[in-house]
Amino acid sequence: MNGRKQTLLAIVIALVAIALPLVTPDYRAQIALLWVMVLFAMTWDILGGQTGYNSFGNVVFFGIGMYASAVVQRDSGLDYFVALFLGMGLGGLIAVAVAAILGSMVLRMRGHYFAIATLGLGIAAAELAAGWEFIGAGSGMTTPLYPGDPGVQYLFFCYLFFALTAVVFCLLAWLYRTRFGLALNAIRDNEDKAEAMGLRTGLYKTVAWMIAAFFLGLTGGAVGNLLRFVDPRDTAFAGATYGVWMVLMAILGGKGTLWGPVLGAVVFHVTQELLWTHLLGWQRVALGLIIVAIVVFFPQGILGWARERWPERFGHKVEAS
Amino acid sequence: MADNLQLLFDAPLLIVQLLLDGILIGAIFAVAAYGMALVWGVMNVINVVQGEYVMLGGFIAFQLTLWDINPFLGVPVAAVILFVLGIAIYYGIIRRVVDKDLFISLLATFGLSILMQQLMNQIWGSQVRTAQSGLSTWFLFDYQVTVSQVKLVAFAGALMIGVLLILFLKRTRLGQAIRATAQNPRAARVLGIDTDRVFAATYGINAALCGAAGAFVVMAYSVHPYTGLPYTVRSFMIVVVAGLGNLPAVILAGLGLGASETMAGFILGVQFQVAFVFCLLVIILVFRNTMLGRKRRYLK
């Protein structure tokens, strides 16, 4: 796809995104969650797809945002919206700080070790949160009630998450075209060479993680209000659900591409919403099967498969054989 | 936390108790860790389902007690069932990811782990399960230190499994083939070793080790569908500290981990024990990496 077609596609998607919750009021909560999933996949892909560092621990930043916003809303005594946005901002900033500190330590590891270390971080965060009285320990926290009609509440969150998604998408589209994006790809392709070329790889990796952390923090702050409940293990630091979904959606769509994570998140979320209600109690079994199936039989993702199938559409020259 | 520390100073025998408990469970960690090291070294796959195999072994022994069969029989039964299951999983899934990107196999086994957690939850429910072994408890030092006999049996059993494993790897043809494949899979193939079968056997043996360990876990401690992951992480940690294929170091690291974890669980409070395990994982990795970083190397 060339630039003009992509812009056109983005505008069509934006129009659909604005119209959809107005047309289908019953599905507003699901649509809001859909944008959350797209945010998950896109932010994961900054480090996972573009830089080649597969993190299982991005959910840490999401959970930090969730708790920060819930604490601000509980203790500040401000108006709902002021507290919400303040909490989201605070959550984003704390997440960035945590990403900077953790990143300078764990991003020096590579491959398996980085993946397992981040997996450990995610679960450690959940267990620590579950033991900390100030934030409700194991029983979690409830977020305040939305002032106004519940239907309008979901509409508000639909547009909030869509706006966030649009911002992240535009930012990443720009970022991946700059030197910064090239540096990330260079690290993915051969980190030693990138370093030998004089790139400060540690800095690039940490900044990439901090960008992901900031937007995950913002997302988390608002999701707490959408779900109305913050639980340390099941929503905030949910490594076995959100933490894996991020990875899975990016891989499903095609990691390391701009549109891949978006596509993967939409396909995954729609399939999940269609199937989940019929699978009471067996959802996670299905999830496990889906993970294994995607990873084993479809590791290149939808876009990767399409690229192999129709290389000329992606601007690759095809030699006649 | 300060209270608990004070308690330790007031009653030094409590330290003996904690260390003893920790060392006894550490041997079980070491068995699962050695299985992980085997799969990692031979196949270059980090098996995230490790903990779920341990739990499944425990549930099998638990199921036997429901049928009025002695849970000690569960050790060989669980080992055999998991050996078969491991080979089936190898041919079904692992085989397709062995030569792929390392992350693919990590994610595939992670998916398997979620799948197995949930299947166990559906079959046995989400209660914490234990199996009564029928053994009693010894009291030492005027009832100040207690040693349950089943933990001692589990300790001895774990060590025996380790010895059997070493003998198997050193003496049998299959064991030698496994070690040859670990050293150089390509050369092993050139010399006529069917590495595919070796991989299958290795993976099956790993599952069997975990199953046997799990049967001890359910007798001496407890099992639950969702508590597998800490066992995986402990195994990983032990292997990172001890290195691949160094059994004495694996056992030492296992005992050390068991002891420090029990101490931490007592001092920080039991609700932080799992958090301690995972934090320790990150700390150990960062520490190892920093040490390697001085030589311009890193963990990869």
Q: What are the boundaries of each domain within chain B?
A: 2-293
A residues 109..138 contacting B (CB < 8 A): 109-113, 115-117, 119-121, 123-124, 127-128, 130-131, 137-138
- pLDDT-above-70 percentage for chain A: 96
Report d(CA B219, CA B58) in Å as an integer.
Answer: 8
pLDDT band at A43 (very low <50, low <70, confident <90, very high): very high
A100: pLDDT strictly greater than 90: yes
Query: Hey, are the CB atoms on B107 and A130 less than 8 Å from each other?
Result: no
Chain A residue with minimal CA distance to B239?
A113
Residue B36: list chain A partners with CB under 8 A.
none
Q: Which fold has domain B2-293?
A: ABC transporter involved in vitamin B12 uptake, BtuC (1.10.3470)
Query: Hey, are the CB atoms on B113 and A244 less than 8 Å from each other?
Result: no
Query: Hey, are the CB atoms on A123 and B269 less than 8 Å from each other?
Result: no
Give the residue with greater pLDDT, B8 vs A217.
A217
Query: Hey, are the CB atoms on B118 and A247 less than 8 Å from each other?
Result: no
CB–CB contacts below 8 A, A to B: 141
pLDDT attached to residue A128: 87
Looking at residue B246, what DSSP letter applies? -
Query: Hey, are the CB atoms on A284 and B118 less than 8 Å from each other?
Result: yes
| B292–A contact, CB cutoff 8 A | no
CA A127-A128-A131 angle, 5° bins: 90
Report d(CA B78, CA B57) in Å as an integer.
Answer: 5
**Predicted confidence (pLDDT) per residue in A48-99, tens digit:** 888 888 888 899 999 999 999 888 888 887 788 888 888 899 999 999 999 9
CB-closest option in A251, A292, A299 to B115? A292
Cβ-Cβ contacts under 8 Å for A81 (sequence gap 6 or more): none
Cβ-Cβ contacts under 8 Å for A301 (sequence gap 6 or more): A250, A251, A252, A253, A254, A255, A260, A264
Chain A residue with minimal CA distance to B277?
A124
What average pLDDT score do residues A210-223 get? 91
Q: Judge if ipTM > 0.90.
A: no
Provide the shortest C-alpha distance from residue A109 to chain B (in Å): 5
CB-closest option in B101, B118, B290 to A288? B118
Question: What are the pLDDT tens digits along chain B (300 aa)?
Answer: 667 777 777 777 777 778 888 888 888 888 888 888 888 888 888 888 999 999 999 999 889 888 888 878 888 899 999 999 999 999 988 888 888 777 788 888 888 888 888 888 888 888 888 877 776 676 666 666 777 778 888 888 888 888 888 888 888 989 889 888 888 888 888 888 888 888 999 999 999 999 999 998 888 888 888 888 888 888 888 888 887 767 788 888 888 888 888 888 888 877 788 888 888 888 888 888 888 877 767 666
A277: pLDDT strictly greater than 80: no
Provide the shortest C-alpha distance from residue A69 to chain B (in Å): 23
Query: Hey, are the CB atoms on A299 and B279 less than 8 Å from each other?
Result: no
Residue of B101, B113, B115, B240 to mutate, testing the A interface (most A Cβ within 10 Å of its Cβ): B115
Query: Hey, are the CB atoms on A138 and B271 less than 8 Å from each other?
Result: yes
Query: Hey, are the CB atoms on B110 and A291 less than 8 Å from each other?
Result: yes
What average pLDDT score do residues A242-250 get? 86
Residue of A56, A116, A135, A287 to mutate, testing the B interface (most B Cβ within 10 Å of its Cβ): A116
Nearest to B277 by CA among B224, B236, B219, B245: B236
pLDDT attached to residue A202: 87
pLDDT attached to residue A11: 85
Report d(CA A261, CA B16) in Å as an integer.
Answer: 54
CB-closest option in B229, B285, B293 to A123? B229
| B46–A contact, CB cutoff 8 A | yes
CB-closest option in A124, A281, A297 to B275? A124
| A81–B contact, CB cutoff 8 A | no
Query: Hey, are the CB atoms on B289 and A109 less than 8 Å from each other?
Result: yes
pLDDT band at A321 (very low <50, low <70, confident <90, very high): very low
Chain B residue with minimal CA distance to A281?
B122
| A47–B contact, CB cutoff 8 A | no
Residue A133: list chain B partners with CB under 8 A.
none
Residue A241: list chain B partners with CB under 8 A.
none
pLDDT attached to residue B299: 66
Cβ count near B197 (within 10 Å): 13
pLDDT attached to residue A107: 86
CB-closest option in B112, B233, B269 to A292? B112
Provide the shortest C-alpha distance from residue A120 to chain B (in Å): 5
For chain A, the C-alpha Rg in angstroms (whole number) is 20
Backbone angles phi, psi at B223, to 5 degrees: -125, 155
What average pLDDT score do residues A105-124 get? 84
CB-closest option in B107, B118, B229 to A247? B107
**Predicted confidence (pLDDT) per residue in A278-317, tens digit:** 777 777 788 788 888 888 888 777 887 887 777 777 666 5
Provide the shortest C-alpha distance from residue B281 to chain A (in Å): 7
Residue A121: list chain B partners with CB under 8 A.
278, 282
